[in-house]
């Protein structure tokens, strides 16, 4: 049965009247001549255009009223992928790829346009054949979620799966993850699995694998090279360093942030250089030997999500903070201005929270720099009210660490001690 996903009204009638369906290869003549594959459309699109995937990998929308001629070159049909069974190369190290969703470990079905997860080593090798020359890749799907749908329960699933492989013979483990919340996941794993005996890298793709400018393959290749060549441990995020196809950055999982919505180089280490940079297949080390304080692996994967991240701004209504306190939150991370300030209209609520033994931590809205609450009178007032400065910890990392600290402590003093301990390079000096 022909497929017309996303096509309605005039565009649907246009396809039907020309005996064309999604997945067919066609030649279209208008102001220019185009050849490519008819792609599905978004559900809420208009009915004036059809979408064509060009041989370059890019999609183009064409207005049907401006098309003079359409010719079907090939008919779509469900293709069955066939793979030759990969023979393991005994001379190469082993790497495990765990997929959680996103486009990094996905392929595009050009018949339907759907992005589907790569489930086997054979499929992965077909998608990125360079990997087979670096390592023997095993794959496993934990779950498949867009990163905006990742919640702390997913962090726990990933952590438990990683614990299963803590005594394996893998050189390292790749976690394929969507980019939007990747640094939250990397932060939790950094704390919960501190001392993990082999390196763990989270890898994403800023541009989907059906685009000619996709960074999926390059990031995977860089991650695999890092795992087999760097004798280290810890949790990292590996993504493009700049717009070049030759430079990949390897960031500490607690010092990285997504700073651009769409650039391939969106991820940046805050407050310094990436831990490692891979340039033209050579790995440049930028860190000292003692960058992780925890040397023994004793997983602590409990957490408590009753933590609020409060971004202060002029006009912030303190009743919102009152509501957070009344809802039973056990920790509040403030994203304050400058050196770590919030307005005096908040002081009464802060005093109330401190009286209820709620942990209060201060971070800065500034992209870089360190909290300094003794410089101005307002900062000193907040210290007296019980707010704890969290050095140069990234606000999102402080949020995740507080969730983890709550899950692994008995009282407010223990939480404070954990939050001020530099466990996984979350505070740089």
Residue burial 280-293, b: 16+ Cβ < 10 Å; e: rest:
eeeeeeebeeebbe
5 is catalytic: no
Report the chain's C-alpha Rg in angstroms: 25
- Residue 211 burial (C-beta neighbours within 10 Å; 0-12, 13-18, 19+): middle
Whether the Cβ atoms of residue 392 and residue 428 lie closer than 8 Å to each other? yes
Catalytic residue among 53, 107, 225, 258: 258
CA–CA distance, 334 with 43 (Å, rounded to integer): 40
180 is catalytic: yes
Please state the three-class secondary structure of the chain as a single string: CCCCCCCCHHHHHHHHHCCCCCCCEEEEECCCEEEEEEECCCCCCCCCEEEEEECCCCEEEEEHHHCCEEEEEECCCCCCCCCCCCCCCCCCCEEEEEECCCCCCEEECCCCCCEEECCCHHHHHHHCHHHHHCCEEEEEECCCCCHHHCCHHHHHHHHHHHHHCCCCCCCEEEEECCCCCHHHHHHHHHHHCCCCCCCEEEECCCCCCCCCCCCHHHHHHHHHHHHHHCCCCCEEEEEECCCCCCEEEEEECCCEEECCCCCCCCEEECCCCCCEEEECCEEEECCCCCCCCCCCCCCCCCCCCCEEEEECCCCCCHHHHHHHHHCCCCEEEEEEECCCECCHHHHHHHHHHHHCCCEEEEEECCCCCCCCCCCCHHHHHHHHCCCEECCCCCHHHHHHHHHHHHHCCCCHHHHHHHHHCCCCCCCCC
109 is catalytic: no
Catalytic residue among 47, 109, 180, 273: 180
User: What are 276's strand-pairing partners?
Assistant: 250, 285
359-364 vs 388-389, strand pairing mode: parallel
Catalytic residue among 103, 181, 224, 269: 103
Could you give the maximum distance between any two Cα atoms of the chain, in Å?
76
103 is catalytic: yes
Active site residues: 103, 179-180, 258
């Amino acid at each position: 049965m022909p497929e017309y996903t996303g096509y309605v009204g005039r565009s649907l009638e246009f396809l039907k009247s020309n005996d064309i369906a999604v997945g067919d290869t066609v030649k279209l003549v208008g102001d220019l001549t185009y050849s490519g594959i008819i792609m599905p459309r978004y559900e809420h699109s208009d009915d004036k255009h059809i979408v064509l995937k060009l041989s370059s990998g890019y999609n183009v929308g064409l207005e049907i009223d401006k098309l003079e001629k359409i010719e079907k070159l090939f008919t779509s049909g469900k293709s069955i992928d066939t793979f030759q069974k990969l023979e393991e190369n005994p001379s190469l190290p082993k790497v495990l790829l765990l997929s959680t969703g996103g486009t990094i470990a996905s392929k595009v079905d050009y018949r339907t346009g759907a992005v589907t997860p790569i489930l086997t080593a054979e499929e992965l090798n077909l998608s990125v054949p360079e990997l087979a020359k670096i390592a023997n890749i095993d794959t496993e799907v934990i779950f498949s979620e867009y990163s905006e749908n990742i919640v702390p329960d997913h962090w726990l699933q990933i952590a438990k799966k990683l614990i299963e492989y803590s005594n394996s013979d893998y050189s390292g483990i790749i976690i394929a993850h969507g980019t939007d919340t990747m640094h939250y996941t990397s932060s939790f794993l950094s704390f919960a699995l501190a001392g993990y005996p082999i390196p763990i890298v989270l890898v994403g793709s800023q541009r989907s694998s059906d685009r000619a400018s996709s960074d999926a393959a390059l990031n995977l290749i860089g991650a695999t090279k890092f795992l087999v060549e760097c004798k280290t441990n810890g949790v990292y995020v590996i993504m493009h360093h700049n717009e070049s196809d030759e430079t990949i950055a390897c960031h500490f999982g607690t010092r990285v942030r997504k700073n651009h919505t769409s650039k391939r180089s969106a991820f940046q280490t805050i407050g310094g250089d990436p831990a490692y940079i891979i340039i033209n297949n050579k790995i440049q080390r930028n860190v000292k030997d003692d960058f992780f304080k925890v040397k023994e692996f004793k997983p602590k994967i409990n957490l408590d999500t009753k933590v609020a991240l409060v971004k202060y701004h002029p006009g912030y209504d303190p009743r919102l903070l009152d509501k957070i306190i009344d809802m039973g939150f056990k920790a509040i991370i403030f994203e304050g201005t400058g050196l770590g300030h919030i307005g005096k209209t908040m002081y009464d609520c802060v005093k109330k929270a401190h009286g209820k033994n709620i942990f209060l931590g201060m971070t800065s809205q500034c992209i870089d720099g360190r909290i300094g609450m003794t410089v101005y009178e307002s900062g000193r007032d907040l210290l007296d009210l019980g707010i704890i400065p969290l050095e140069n910890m990234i606000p999102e990392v402080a949020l995740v660490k507080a969730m983890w600290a709550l899950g692994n402590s008995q009282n407010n003093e223990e939480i404070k001690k954990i939050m001020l301990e530099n466990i996984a390079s979350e505070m740089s000096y």
